[in-house]
Amino acid sequence: MTIFSSQLFMSAIIFGTVILYGALGEILAEKSGNLNLGVPGIMYLGAIAGLAGAFFYEMSTPDPNGFLCLVISLVCAFGASCLGGLLYSFLTITLRVNQNVTGLTLTIFGGGIANFFGGALNTLAGGVGQISVASTSAVYRASLPFANDLGSFGKVIFGHGFLVYVALVLAVCMAWFLNRTRTGLNLRAVGENPATADAAGINVTRYKYVATCLGAGISGLGGLYYTMDYVKGTWASDGTIESLGWLAVALVIFATWKPINVIWGAYLFGYLRWLYNYIEGLGRSSQEIFKMIPYIVTIVVLILVSIRKKRENQPPASLGLSYFREER
Amino acid sequence: MSSPAIHTAPLVRIAKRDGIALWKSCLIRLAAVFLALVLSGLFIYSLTKLNPVDVYKAMYAGAFGTSRRTWITVREVMTLLCIAIGLAPAFKMRFWNIGAEGQVLIGGIVTAGMMIHLGNTMPTPLLLLVMGVASLAAGAVWGLIPALFKARWNTNETLFTLMLNYVAIQLTSYCVSLWENPYGSNVVGQINQQTRSGWFPELFGISCGLNVLLVLVLTVGMYIYLRYSKQGYEIAVLGESVNTARYAGIKPSKVIIRTMILSGAICGLAGFIAVAGADHTISVDTAGGRGFTAIIVAWIAKFNTFVMLLISLLLVFLQQGAIEIATQFGLNDFAANVITGIILFCIIGSEFFINYRLIPRSGKEAKGA
């Protein structure tokens, strides 16, 4: 039980992956100028849709096929979160409703839907905490067969379900996409100054819609990973996903809107999150103080970024503003 | 390639309205509320097979069926309204105070701490006064922190206040584990249950009379402050345009700091009302998401405190009603959040039709492309 124990690193990576997905999706949306405060709600939607899909599939056959479990839950989670993103996009882009208000409503709504149907699924499955999608969860948690032979260090690196590695690949791809492709450049232009982008012939509305919906889908995978791996295919209406969702929003700031920074930021947050378990002599009350650290660190980063005013670390300039072509 | 692309006008054009007649905007909002009620009715129908009229009868019984339920509904309305009133000046200034949740909790922590440590040492009216002032101060400090950074370095306040919520939540968890009763339960339990020291007394024979009185005074006061005072005017100008405000000789940093002290203080007071006037305990659920709901209440009411009262009433009615239906049909309480979400989506969506008008393509325009 030291602060360098491999168990701690394992939990840090698992925790980090949930918010890594959430933050990556949010970066994509924010780069298009949409400050989507509905991330917690979207992660909720992804979580419950993936769980429900897997649950009904496992109920329907006596011998669930692992591959089908995977596809069904992935499609359900991604689809449901995209729908959440679509609702947000429709309200903020087409109807030009304020983004913060819409995002918060989406969080209330997504949390409501997920906890409501999560509770209902538990009832269907026979009582509180009874739902379990063991076969699907097993597929998500399956690690490489040789991971256990690699010693504790190898296990920390290779001993995870595949979604952990997908998240890493996704982060690298997104960094490449945003910084090295024409479409990425256009997307950033939309987020920085939609009027200029519009004048340059970029379809602002389409970019915003696609970025926000895809971003929501990616965030939703965080919720899916949470239900399938983090809590091993069960459901508890305890609001954890909501706090994880806000942490993902925090992580975007912490990473100063850069996908590569999100990777180590996510694992650092995960490390800080579980560190209290590994420090001797912390009482239960001081543990609660300890859990504040990720948020305080984020605030400090936010302040430093605003004081230093380095141009590459700033949020997209039109973040949070609706675009209306005829408005000057 | 040779012929130039023919641009036809889109099917519907969107143009900003210059203004809208009051009756029209009311009609649009009513239509939105009606649509929301139909959608929620459908949602409940699909779960319970109750016909929509029975749904709303049952909901009415849940919210106002007995005098006790009525007072609970009123109490909940007052707490939500108090937070919304606190947020109104900040949002009118376009300062995105997402941190009401935290400001309420900080006010609640201070109140609960005083109830525990000062309870039974002084008469309740004096204790209430001390707790009220302390919660105002605590909320003000919690609101002041992001305002200082916003005023000095233009630090993004949306994200700052959001993070402060979680700092406040962890502080609450910390205090709960300090004050837990009985030991090991990790809940504080009813504070001073025997002596009722620091509890709101009955006023005019109503258990939540003091809640109503306090919040209604705030409602009227904030309405006057925003509409008729010089400071309220400064807030409005700053909210419209920072440059205009500067030009008019208004110092933005000063107004931001002053307004956020006020906003945080009232949210802190809401924490005091929630702890001393309703729950008589403290937990991380003391704010219970109302800090977020109140933002939407303040926003869609366009910062008119009397409209906020109506919207709070509608939301709490739906929540209490949904909880009643959930209990009757063995569903869970989160149905209330689903319904809240539906109605809020409808109302915020309707704003579009108030601010913009749709102009269908006329035949002449289409040909003249």
Q: Compare all CA atoms of chain A with the CA of B179 and give the residue at the minimum distance.
A: A285
Is pLDDT of B368 > 70? no
Collect all residues of chain B within an 8 Å Cβ-Cβ radius of residue A44.
Answer: none
User: Among A209-213, A283-287, B270-274, B345-349, whose mean pLDDT is lowest?
Assistant: A283-287
Residue B319 lies in a domain: yes
Percent of chain A having pLDDT more than 70? 93
Interface of A with B in 233-272 (CB under 8 A): 237, 243, 246-247, 249-250, 253
- Contact criterion met (CB below 8 Å) for A42 and A85: yes
Name the residue among A96, A100, A112 with its Cβ closest to that of B334.
A112
Distance CA A233, CA B278 (A): 38
Distance from CA of A187 to the nearest CA of B (A): 22
- Calculate the average pLDDT of chain A: 85
Residue B357: in which H helix or E strand, if any?
A: strand B356-360
Is A5's Cβ below 8 Å from some Cβ in B? no
Burial track A148-179 (b if 16+ CB lie within 10 A, e otherwise): eeeeeeebbebbbbebbeebeebbeebbebbe
pLDDT in tens, B98-115: 889 999 999 999 999 988
Alpha-helix residue ranges (DSSP H) falling in chain A: 6-31, 39-60, 66-89, 99-124, 134-141, 151-158, 162-180, 182-192, 194-199, 204-225, 240-254, 259-275, 284-290, 293-308
Give start and end residues of each alpha helix (H) in B154-250.
157-179, 209-228, 230-240, 242-247
Containing B359, the helix (H) or strand (E) segment is strand B356-360
Q: In A, which residues are within 8 Å of B339 by CB distance?
A: 112
CB within 8 A of B286, min separation 6: which ones?
Answer: B104, B105, B108, B172, B271, B274, B275, B279
To the nearest whole number, what is the mean pLDDT of chain B? 84
Q: What is the pLDDT of residues A19-61, one digit of tens each?
A: 999 999 999 999 999 988 899 999 999 999 998 888 888 888 7
In whole angstroms, give the CA distance from residue B153 to residue B143: 16
Of A101, A288, A306, the CB nearest to B155: A306
Enclosing domain of residue B68? 16-357
If you measure CA to CA, which chain B residue comes closest to A308?
Answer: B153
- Three-state secondary-structure class, residue A238: coil
CA gap B342, B256 in Å, rounded: 33
Contact flag A237-B332 (C-beta cutoff 8 Å): yes
Chain A CB contacts of B92 under 8 Å are none
Q: Give domain status of residue B11, yes or no.
A: no
Cβ separation B293–A108 shorter than 8 A: yes
pLDDT at B1 over 50: no
Q: CATH fold of A6-313, please?
A: ABC transporter involved in vitamin B12 uptake, BtuC (1.10.3470)
Query: Is the pLDDT assigned to residue B47 strictly greater than 80?
Result: no
Of A112, A250, A315, the CB nearest to B341: A112
- Poorest-pLDDT segment among A136-140, B160-164, B337-341: A136-140
Query: Which CATH number fits the domain that encloses residue B81?
Result: 1.10.3470
Residue A148 has pLDDT above 70, yes or no: no
Separation of alpha carbons B101 and B133, rounded Å = 19
Instruction: Tell me which chain A residues have a C-beta less than 8 angstroms from the C-beta of B10.
Output: none
To the nearest whole Å, the CA of A324 is away from the closest chain B CA by 10
Under 8 Å CB-to-CB from A56, ≥6 apart: which residues?
Answer: none
Residue of A nearest to B358 (CA): A95
Instruction: Give the pLDDT confidence of B319-358 residue by residue, as tens digits.
Output: 888 888 878 777 777 888 888 888 888 988 888 888 888 8
pLDDT digits (tens, 9 = 90+) for A277-313: 777 777 777 788 888 888 888 889 888 888 887 777 7
Question: Inter-chain contact A246–B296, Cβ cutoff 8 Å?
Answer: no
Q: Does A299 touch chain B (CB under 8 A)?
A: yes
Please tell me if residue A95 touches chain B, with a CB cutoff of 8 Å.
yes
B201: number of CA atoms within 13 Å, CB side?
10
The reply to whether residue A97 touches residue B349, judged by beta carbons under 8 angstroms, is yes
Cβ of residue A326 closer than 8 Å to a chain B Cβ: yes
Sequence ranges of the domains in chain A: 6-313
B345/A109 CB distance under 8 A: yes
What's the total number of domains in chain B?
1
The reply to whether B66 falls in a domain is yes
User: Under an 8 A CB cutoff, do A104 and B296 touch?
Assistant: yes
Of B167, B292, B337, the CB nearest to A292: B167
Per-residue pLDDT tens digits for B284-329: 888 878 888 898 889 888 888 898 999 899 888 888 888 888 787 7
Please give the ipTM for the structure prediction.
0.85
B-chain residues near A288 (CB < 8 A): 170-171, 173-174, 177
Query: What pLDDT is attached to residue B362?
Result: 67
Q: Do A303 and B149 touch (CB under 8 A)?
A: yes
Tokens (6 digits) for A58: 């496992």
Chain A partners of B351 at a C-beta cutoff of 8 Å? 95, 97
| CB–CB contact A101 B173 (8 Å) | no
At A206, is the pLDDT very low, low, confident or very high (cuts 50, 70, 90)? Answer: very high
CA closest to A298 among chain B residues: B163
Partner residue opposite A296 with nearest CB, options B165, B167, B289: B167
In one letter, which amino acid is B285?
D
Chain B CB contacts of A303 under 8 Å are: 149, 153, 155, 160
CA distance B363 to chain A (A): 23
**Residue numbers in A near B165 (CB within 8 A):** 246
Q: Are B312 and B299 in contact (CB under 8 A)?
A: no
Give chain B positions within 8 Å (CB) of A97.
348-349, 351-352
- In terms of Cα–Cα distance, which of B102, B36, B24 is closest to B315? B36
